[in-house]
Amino acid sequence: MKECHILSLSGGKDSTALAFFIKDNMPEIHKKIEYVFFDTGCDLDETYDYLNKLEVFLEKPILRIKPEKSFEHLYEMYKFLPSLKFRWCTIHMKTDTFKKYMNEKTKKGFEKINLYVGIRADEPQRVENYKKQNKENENSILKTHYPLYENGLNEKDVYNLLVTNGVGYPDYYDWRSRSGCYFCFFQRKIEWIGLLERHPDLFQKALLFEKKAGKGFTWCQNISLEELKKPCNVKKIKDSYKKRFEKKGFKNKKLIDCI
């Protein structure tokens, strides 16, 4: 049977840790596997720098696959911002691109596609959700594997894998909790402030998309970016998050400073 092995890297800690787990513990799979990054063109510079670093440490290239249409093109089509209710950015730029890539594999004669997903053992609900969301893709050709989950690896193990292999976390984890587009609507208010302070040009681009969408459309719930960036609101949000962390006994000064 002609089969292939694929791991979709997001530029985040879990999928990266899975790549190194496979390299260290599944050498035969590592030889065959394709490391793929579905590149929206909207990720942070830190993400692209991290991917370049990973290619060196993994000793394998990472295939960069772009969607057929850019975010700007799709935005002109829809005329409104993506949101939790309608994630058109994810549908067109990630899901459709992934499906097209799978179809190309099938056309090339692959009878089995092994997909490796970086969900940890301390995230059982995520496994169930992923299975439900991708049920339509699960057929006799596509087989999904969860090595971190199946081998009992949790968040601490992910950290140890990245440190042991010398790559560490990507730099954006100093102020952001997840990989993804700079304008991601899943970002918390404090992360928007992180974008404002570290990438003011990208914050401004997101703000212009918001303004063009018109009244009632905002990236961040209950507040526009124009309002959020006002010094009084920046201070209010920072103070709120600082109190929250201190209440939990959070002692990492670096992270407290960056909120």
- Could you tell me how far CA 84 lies from the centroid of its own chain? 16
104, HSE (Cβ side, Cα atoms, 13 Å) = 7
pLDDT band at 259 (very low <50, low <70, confident <90, very high): very low
Contact indicator for 27, 60 with CB cutoff of 8 Å: no
Angle value at C-alpha 31, between 111 and 100, nearest 5 degrees: 40
Q: Are residues 47 and 138 in the same domain?
A: yes
Q: Are residues 136 and 31 in the same domain?
A: yes
Q: Which of 105, 138, 173 is the last residue of a domain?
A: 173
What φ, ψ does residue 146 adopt, rounded to 5°? -125, 70
Q: Are residues 135 and 160 in the same domain?
A: yes
Q: Are residues 59 and 159 in the same domain?
A: yes
User: How many structural domains is the chain composed of?
Assistant: 2
Q: Which of 231, 7, 225 is nearest to 115 (CA)?
A: 7
pLDDT at 38: 97
Sequence-distant (6+) residues with CB within 8 A of 5 are: 29, 32, 33, 34, 114, 116
Q: Are residues 163 and 227 in the same domain?
A: no
Q: Are residues 210 and 143 in the same domain?
A: no
Residue of 84 and 62 predicted with greater confidence:
62
pLDDT per position as a tens digit, 180-189: 999 999 999 9
Q: Residue 112 is encoded by which pair of tokens?
A: 């089995």
Q: Are residues 120 and 164 in the same domain?
A: yes
Q: Are residues 160 and 65 in the same domain?
A: yes
Whether the pLDDT of residue 253 is over 50: the answer is no
Q: Are residues 78 and 121 in the same domain?
A: yes
Q: Are residues 63 and 21 in the same domain?
A: yes
What φ, ψ does residue 106 adopt, rounded to 5°? -65, -40
Whether the pLDDT of residue 134 is over 70: the answer is no
Q: Which of 153, 173, 193 is the last residue of a domain?
A: 173
CATH of the domain at 59: 3.40.50.620
Amino acid at residue number 7 = L
- Tell me which residue has tokens 């100093």: 174
pLDDT at 258: 44
Q: Which of 122, 153, 173 is the last residue of a domain?
A: 173
- Strands in 34-38's sheet, in edge-to-edge order, are 62-65, 34-38, 3-8, 112-116, 142-145
- In angstroms, rounded to a whole number, what is the distance separating the alpha carbons of residues 153 and 195? 31
pTM score above 0.85: yes
In angstroms, the Cα distances linking 193 to 199, 202, 212, 215, 258 are 10, 12, 21, 21, 10
Could you tell me the residue range of the domain that residue 50 belongs to?
3-173
Whether the pLDDT of residue 24 is over 80: the answer is yes
pLDDT per position as a tens digit, 187-235: 999 999 999 999 999 999 999 999 999 888 999 988 999 999 999 999 9
What's the mean pLDDT in 147-162? Answer: 96
What's the mean pLDDT in 127-155? Answer: 83
Q: Are residues 193 and 134 in the same domain?
A: no
Q: Are residues 15 and 128 in the same domain?
A: yes
